[in-house]
């Protein structure tokens, strides 16, 4: 560790200040999407997904995450595949949460560190094997499940990839049929 305000310490401060200046522009853009603090709750990743998916943020921490141009509400999940292989859900998944999950389509963003690699979308019916598995676990007397995961492999095998865009036939996430 360098001495306080040594030449190397000052060099790191100068680099930080230079890079941080660009964050102001990003922060202002995030606010346009309803994200008040881009460094909280994956704010920048959420904004990036909203832009690529052509959606708007639904305010608040309860309920669904985004809304598409058709007025369809969506559940959004993201993962850093370098850290884990399963998308988090809810720390208190119960029958009511599962019922809510069955009503909306889902988007799944796969990152490597901070680099967005893929986005998949899934209809609720495509997630039914997960929902049934969770209900089976709840039937064994548990009041709730602690954050059951949706495996990346399951999403890749059953979802529709919408990003990176297919240059010849891009898929609008809003075009998926909910049934």
What pLDDT score does 34 carry? Answer: 87
Cα distance between residue 59 and residue 81, in whole Å: 27
**For residue 103, what pLDDT band results from cuts at 50, 70 and 90?**
very high
What pLDDT score does 162 carry? Answer: 94
What pLDDT score does 39 carry? Answer: 74
Q: In what order do the strands lie in the sheet with 115-122?
A: 56-57, 66-67, 73-80, 106-112, 115-122, 160-163
What does the pLDDT look like over 115-152, one tens digit per residue? 999 999 999 999 999 999 999 999 988 889 999 999 99
Residue 65 is among the residues annotated as catalytic for this protein: yes
Report DSSP letters for 35-61, one per residue: -S-TTSTTHHHHHHHHHHHT-EEPPSS
Percent of all residues in the chain with a pLDDT value above 90, rounded to a whole number: 65
pLDDT of 179 higher than 60: no
Q: Which of 18-27, 42-51, 99-108 has the highest mean pLDDT?
A: 99-108
What does the pLDDT look like over 70-94, one tens digit per residue? 999 999 999 999 999 999 999 999 9
Cα distance between residue 92 and residue 112, in whole Å: 27
pLDDT of 178 higher than 70: no
- Options 62, 75, 100, 118, the catalytic residue: 75
More confident residue, 80 or 19: 80
What does the pLDDT look like over 28-64, one tens digit per residue? 888 998 888 877 777 888 889 999 999 999 987 677 8
3-state SS assignment for residue 33: coil
What pLDDT score does 149 carry? Answer: 97
- Options 65, 73, 117, 118, the catalytic residue: 65
What is the distance of C-alpha 92 from the center of its chain?
A: 18
Q: Which fold has domain 57-174?
A: PvuII Endonuclease; Chain A (3.40.210)
pTM: 0.86
Cα distance between residue 102 and residue 18, in whole Å: 46
The DSSP symbol for 1 reads -
- Options 56, 77, 128, 135, the catalytic residue: 77
Q: Which residue ranges make up each domain of the chain?
A: 57-174
């Amino acid at each position: 560790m360098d001495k306080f305000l040594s030449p190397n310490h000052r060099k790191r401060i100068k680099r930080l200040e230079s890079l941080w200046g660009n964050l102001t522009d990003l922060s202002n853009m995030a606010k346009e999407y309803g994200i008040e603090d881009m460094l909280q709750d994956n704010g920048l990743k959420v904004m990036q997904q909203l832009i690529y998916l052509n959606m708007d943020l639904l305010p608040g921490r309860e309920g669904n995450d985004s809304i598409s141009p058709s007025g369809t509400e969506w559940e959004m999940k993201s993962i850093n595949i370098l850290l884990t292989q399963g998308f988090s859900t809810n720390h208190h998944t119960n029958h009511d949460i599962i019922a809510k999950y069955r009503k909306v389509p889902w988007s799944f963003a796969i990152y490597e560190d901070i680099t967005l690699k893929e986005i998949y979308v899934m209809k609720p019916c495509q997630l039914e094997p997960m929902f049934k598995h969770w209900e089976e676990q709840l039937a064994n007397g548990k009041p709730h499940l602690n954050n059951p995961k949706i495996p990346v492999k399951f999403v890749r095998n059953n979802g529709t990839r919408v990003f990176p865009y297919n240059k010849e036939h891009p898929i609008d996430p809003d075009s998926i049929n909910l049934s």
